[in-house]
Chain A
Amino acid sequence: MGDRRVVVTGMGIIAPNGNGKAEFDLALRKGKSGLRTEPSMVEAGLACQVASVPQGVEELARATFDEELLLAMNSSHRYAALAAVEAWQDAGLAVPDAADDTVQWDTGAVIGTGVGGIDTMGERVVPMVNAGKTRRIGSTGVEQVMASGPSARVSGILALGNHVTTNSTACATGVEAIVEGADRIRRGLATRMVCGGVEGASVYIWAGFDAMRVLSRKFNEEPEKASRPMSASAGGFIPAAGAGILVLESLESALERGATIRAEIAGGATNCGGHRMGGSMTAPNPEGVRRCIRAALLDGDVRPEEVDLISGHLTATGADPKEVASWSAALERGPGSLPTITSTKSLIGHGLGAAGAMETVAAILMLQGGFVHASINCEDVHPEIEPYADSIPHELQTRQDLRTIVKAGFGFGDVNAALVVRRFEA
């Protein structure tokens, strides 16, 4: 791997508790929840009837895109495109006119999704095929269900000409996308990469998780309390939708054009636990998790004692205590010395393929703003996490000392991704 430094010069977010960086930042500081009763889950009779879905997206999309683009985009395309446009503009770059034939040959995209365009599949493709009306799928069915849809859509809007792909590693997707994009810049193969993750909003995505009994079922009457990472009363996760997108850039390019540097991507790692040592399709091999965290630190040349904040995967399932133990083991920092550990999912639920990217945006906002958002709904800390209780922020913390954050995502398939984000210092 090369040694070019990679920095973040732009960020965009469509999140259940706020669209755009400014709104999302405020929501994090206020501990605002994005969880609501979800009518489509109620109608379908799911055991979990709470979801975390971005609001006001249609108005935003209509103000940003032309009619032809709107007709071609499903929910995940809308979220990814809006977040990418915000990130691009935040990086000080102009969104090109569709008639301008200039291609950004040195800029690519890795924009992942966990499940993809299953809303289009469920609402259009399957019903039309079953009814013998295949023609009525129209021309946009394929581009919405193809796995590479989100990155393809964004590359068309921004005229990107470098490596453009969609990665998919379940709930590790968003973090993995950033690790992959940064790697490409470090190797000198791209100057800029538009990276992140997206997940659409659809009961067809959520029903499968509900069938697995991994969604929170006991807080349907109190939606904002339904996502309870690290809590003794956690009973599953709350599915979420949205997108988080970063513009990654080589340090020299950012300096050369005088871009505002939001943070540095110091290091990253991905691996798989091989479905061994307790790992399976749906559970992580703890040794894989620990190795991944350690590898990210090593890659970033960061010592465990330098970590100021852990932005955990922490979904509010039975895996939380094991995850906290893995962080402790990986960092060799036991009860009393574990860094502050927070779960953005307590506020926005679990964005699946978008989770790691939305939470990285949150991490960088915290780094820039000198705060740690409250990890809500765990006043009753899980007994196995209790020894680490002092590391959990139940309220907003002012933390001007924040310098190094580790963000991780762990996914079905026993796959892991970890990222070291550091305050930029020349």
Chain B
Amino acid sequence: MEASEIQEQVVKILTPYVKDQQALAKVSLETNILEDLKVNSARLVDVVLAFEDAFDIEIADDDVDEVNTVGDCVRLISEKV
């Protein structure tokens, strides 16, 4: 799967949780999920579950701790698909 395809899917999954729509409009690999998109940190759990379902992968709790940006998500998923 192409990285761009993964990124598109990641952004789609994040979208319902995004509080800053302007940041979403100019989303990039460097966009920070909590700080830029203002996603409620508690909901990261649900975002990761949605990644697992969408890409048919398993993501360990320790890996989740390393996720800060959209790029981190794309990299993590790319390693597993």
List the interface of chain A (C-beta within 8 A of B). 66-68, 71, 98-99, 135-136, 138-140
Inter-chain contact A68/B43, CB cutoff 8 Å = yes
Inter-chain contact A139/B45, CB cutoff 8 Å = yes
In angstroms, Cα B45 to Cα A136, docked, is 9
Chain B residues whose CB sits within 8 angstroms of the CB of A139 once the complex forms: 42-46
Inter-chain contact B46/A140, CB cutoff 8 Å = yes
**Closest A residue by C-beta to B38:** A99
In angstroms, Cα B44 to Cα A135, docked, is 12
Chain B residues whose CB sits within 8 angstroms of the CB of A136 once the complex forms: 49
Inter-chain contact B19/A138, CB cutoff 8 Å = no
Inter-chain contact A71/B45, CB cutoff 8 Å = no
A135 and B49 in contact, given A66-B16, A67-B16, A71-B16 (Cβ under 8 angstroms): yes
Inter-chain contact B16/A138, CB cutoff 8 Å = no
A71 and B49 in contact, given A66-B16, A99-B19 (Cβ under 8 angstroms): no
Query: Looking at A66, A68, A71, which has the most chain B CB atoms within 10 Å of its CB?
Result: A68
Total A-B residue pairs with C-beta atoms closer than 8 Å?
A: 24
Choose one: B19, B46, B61; the contact of A71 (CB below 8 Å): B46
**Closest B residue by C-beta to A138:** B46
Chain B residues whose CB sits within 8 angstroms of the CB of A98 once the complex forms: 19
Closest CB-CB distance, B73 to chain A, in whole Å?
17
**From residue 38 to 75 of chain B, which have CB atoms closer than 8 A to chain A?**
40, 42-46, 49, 61
Closest CB-CB distance, B53 to chain A, in whole Å?
10
Closest CB-CB distance, B49 to chain A, in whole Å?
6
In angstroms, Cα B49 to Cα A423, docked, is 53
Closest CB-CB distance, A157 to chain B, in whole Å?
15
In angstroms, Cα B17 to Cα A41, docked, is 35
Add 17 more A-B contacts to A99-B19, A138-B49 (CB < 8 A): A66-B16, A67-B15, A68-B16, A68-B17, A68-B40, A68-B43, A71-B16, A98-B19, A135-B45, A135-B49, A135-B61, A138-B45, A139-B43, A139-B44, A139-B45, A139-B46, A140-B46
Chain A residues whose CB sits within 8 angstroms of the CB of B46 once the complex forms: 71, 138-140
Chain B residues whose CB sits within 8 angstroms of the CB of A99 once the complex forms: 19
Chain A residues whose CB sits within 8 angstroms of the CB of B17 once the complex forms: 68
Closest CB-CB distance, A98 to chain B, in whole Å?
8
Closest CB-CB distance, A101 to chain B, in whole Å?
13
In angstroms, Cα B49 to Cα A99, docked, is 27
Query: Looking at A71, A138, A140, which has the most chain B CB atoms within 10 Å of its CB?
Result: A138
**From residue 1 to 57 of chain B, which have CB atoms closer than 8 A to chain A?**
15-17, 19, 40, 42-46, 49
Chain A residues whose CB sits within 8 angstroms of the CB of B49 once the complex forms: 135-136, 138
In angstroms, Cα B46 to Cα A343, docked, is 44
Chain A residues whose CB sits within 8 angstroms of the CB of B15 once the complex forms: 67
Chain A residues whose CB sits within 8 angstroms of the CB of B45 once the complex forms: 135, 138-139
Closest CB-CB distance, B67 to chain A, in whole Å?
15
Closest CB-CB distance, B45 to chain A, in whole Å?
4
Closest CB-CB distance, A14 to chain B, in whole Å?
23
In angstroms, Cα B40 to Cα A304, docked, is 54
Chain B residues whose CB sits within 8 angstroms of the CB of A135 once the complex forms: 45, 49, 61
Query: Looking at B15, B16, B17, B40, which has the most chain A CB atoms within 10 Å of its CB?
Result: B16
Q: Which 10 A-B pairs have the closest CB atoms?
A: A67-B16, A139-B45, A139-B42, A138-B46, A68-B16, A139-B46, A68-B17, A139-B43, A138-B49, A138-B45
Closest CB-CB distance, B39 to chain A, in whole Å?
9
In angstroms, Cα B49 to Cα A322, docked, is 53
In angstroms, Cα B46 to Cα A98, docked, is 20
Closest CB-CB distance, A74 to chain B, in whole Å?
14
**Closest B residue by C-beta to A66:** B16
Chain B residues whose CB sits within 8 angstroms of the CB of A140 once the complex forms: 46
Interchain Cβ contacts under 8 Å between A and B, 20 examples: A66-B16, A67-B15, A67-B16, A68-B16, A68-B40, A68-B43, A71-B16, A71-B46, A98-B19, A99-B19, A136-B49, A138-B45, A138-B46, A138-B49, A139-B42, A139-B43, A139-B44, A139-B45, A139-B46, A140-B46
